[in-house]
Structure 1
Amino acid sequence: MAMEGGGRATGNRNRQLRVAADELQAVDGRDYPEDNITIVNTTTMSHPQQVRDDEWAEPAEGLLGTAVFDATGDKAAMPSWDELVRQHADRVYRLAYRLSGNQHDAEDLTQETFIRVFRSVQNYQPGTFEGWLHRITTNLFLDMVRRRARIRMEALPEDYDRVPADDPNPEQIYHDARLGPDLQAALDSLPPEFRAAVVLCDIEGLSYEEIGATLGVKLGTVRSRIHRGRQALRDYLAAHPEHSGAYSRPARSAG
């Protein structure tokens, strides 16, 4: 796998996520004549901070292939790589961005999600394909956070001063410039487990039962994480009035 840049002038915006063709051939035996296959071109993908959550919709024609496979389990209807990406790339990238809070990690998570899906799709049991995508993306994010935390703690000297520096790093400067005072800033303040629960519930619209299945936790844990996550968001917004309009929890049943 490789990440290819689109030139210094345009930075991350022209990045394409690509995977070696032989990796796909090893999965489904189909011929992929090109050396690399484009997974997602982020220039054609709606960016989360540019689109309101209620504006997202799947293309009507895009759900047909996966829906048939999901309903029947017929291996003959198993979606191709192109079908998987075309139908679900926007949704996976949006979730990855909301969870990670930055484009670079969202791209990496999106790429890894589709690799995992494509390698496992032959063994997928019909049920809820989108729920499966949610579960893979969210678990990859949580694994990434835990791995980074472990590496960071192992690298710290015993006398490390845990007071954070005042100066923002380059990634934070880019992140703040891109997002401004919006929902993502508040979400970024949450612990990863709370953030995942709130994003899946209040942004992705999953029920508590679906979130429990996605995260592999009990219903009571889901309720607790969402409650505590929402409270943490309110506390953050109270302390940062410039973000006060960023979060408005939709009215919905508890699931």
Structure 2
Amino acid sequence: MPWQPPTWEEIVREHSARVYRLAYRLTGNKQDAEDLTQETFIRVFRSLSSYTPGTFEGWLHRITTNLFLDGARRKKRIRMEAMGDDDGHVADTGDFGRPERGYEHANLDQDVQKALDALRPEYRAAVVLCDIEGLSYEEIAVTLGVKLGTVRSRIHRARAQLRDALEHLAPTRGGA
């Protein structure tokens, strides 16, 4: 019997929380995460007939991450043309989406999310896929369409930048 793709309802029910979580970590705020999640499922809907059986979750990660990176490049280009150096970014301190995701979102400290937001998009994507989503370096390379060495380099640089950005939170040694 040939492979039958899952129904649209099954895809949304089974994968929407995972896609939203990844989108939130990549974008850093609820509104952009919702938009990215919606764009991802639109792309999935349009491309489902051409999907070749494999790791469906990997395919979703790849679509979500590529849409994020495309959007980040587009925003950078628009910002450079229209706004100069001021990107007008305002940190989102509102709620974190639906209640079932509240604990998870609330437990990624605002300082950590702010530090993630400060990373270049390609570094942020690599470190989020590795350290938050739990993908292997090999899976990240496939998802991002880059070489394994590039993944290692991006994750190393991202972690170094995160360490620098978050060092003020580390307890001081030897008392004040």
Contact 2:112 2:166 in 1 (8 A): no
Q: TM-score, normalised by structure 2?
A: 0.82
Bigger fraction of residues in strand: 1
- Are residues 79 and 128 of structure 1, via their aligned partners in 2, closer, same or farther at CA, if it must alter by over 3 Å? same
Q: Which residue of 1 aligns with 2:160?
A: 231
String of CA shifts for 1:116-135, please: whole Å, max 9, x gaps: 11111111111110000000
1:97 aligned to 2:24? yes
Q: Within 5 Å, which residues of 2 pair with 1:38-57?
A: none
1:1-44 residue CA offsets vs partner (Å, 9 max, x unmatched): xxxxxxxxxxxxxxxxxxxxxxxxxxxxxxxxxxxxxxxxxxxx
| Residue 177 of structure 1: how far off its partner (Å) | 5.4
Number of positions where the alignment pairs a residue of Structure 1 with one of Structure 2: 159
What amino acid maps onto 1:202 in structure 2?
Answer: D
Q: Where does structure 1 differ by over 4 angstroms across 4 or more consecutive aligned residues?
A: 177-180
Which consecutive residues of structure 2, in runs of 5 or more, have no partner in the other structure? 96-105, 172-176
Residue 54 (structure 2) pairs with residue 136 (structure 1): no
Please give the secondary structure, in 1, of the residue aligned with 2:146.
coil
Matches within 5 A, 1:80-159: 80-156=7-83
1:184 and 1:73, CA in 2 relative to 1: closer, same or farther beyond 3 A?
farther
Matching residue within 121, 140, 151 for 1:222: 151
Given the two structures, how large is their TM-score scaled by the length of structure 1? 0.58
CA distance in 2, matches of 1:112, 1:217: 23
Secondary structure, counterpart of 2:119 in structure 1: coil
Q: 1-side partners of 2:35 and 2:110: how far apart? A: 25
Q: Distance in 2 between matches of 1:187 and 1:98?
A: 8
- Structure 1 residue aligned with 2:174: none
AA matched with 2:48: V
* Deviation, structure 1 residue 105: 0.6
Shift of the alpha carbon at 1:176? 3.6
Aligned pairs (5 A) from 1:1-255: 74=3, 77-156=4-83, 162=85, 172=90, 175-176=92-93, 181-238=110-167, 240-241=168-169, 244=170
Q: Indicate if the aligned counterparts of 2:65 and 2:143 stay in contact, CA closer than 8 A.
A: yes
- Alpha carbons 2:26, 2:128 under 8 Å: kept: yes
User: Secondary structure, in 3 states, of the residue corresponding to 2:110?
Assistant: coil
Contact 1:197-1:225 within 8 A present in 2 as well: yes
What CA deviation, in whole Å up to 9, does each residue of 1:75-118 have, x standing for no partner?
A: xx321111110000000000000000011110111001011111
- Pairwise CA RMSD: 2.2
8 A Cα contact 2:24 2:32, kept in partner: yes
CA contact (8 A) 1:73 1:126 kept: no
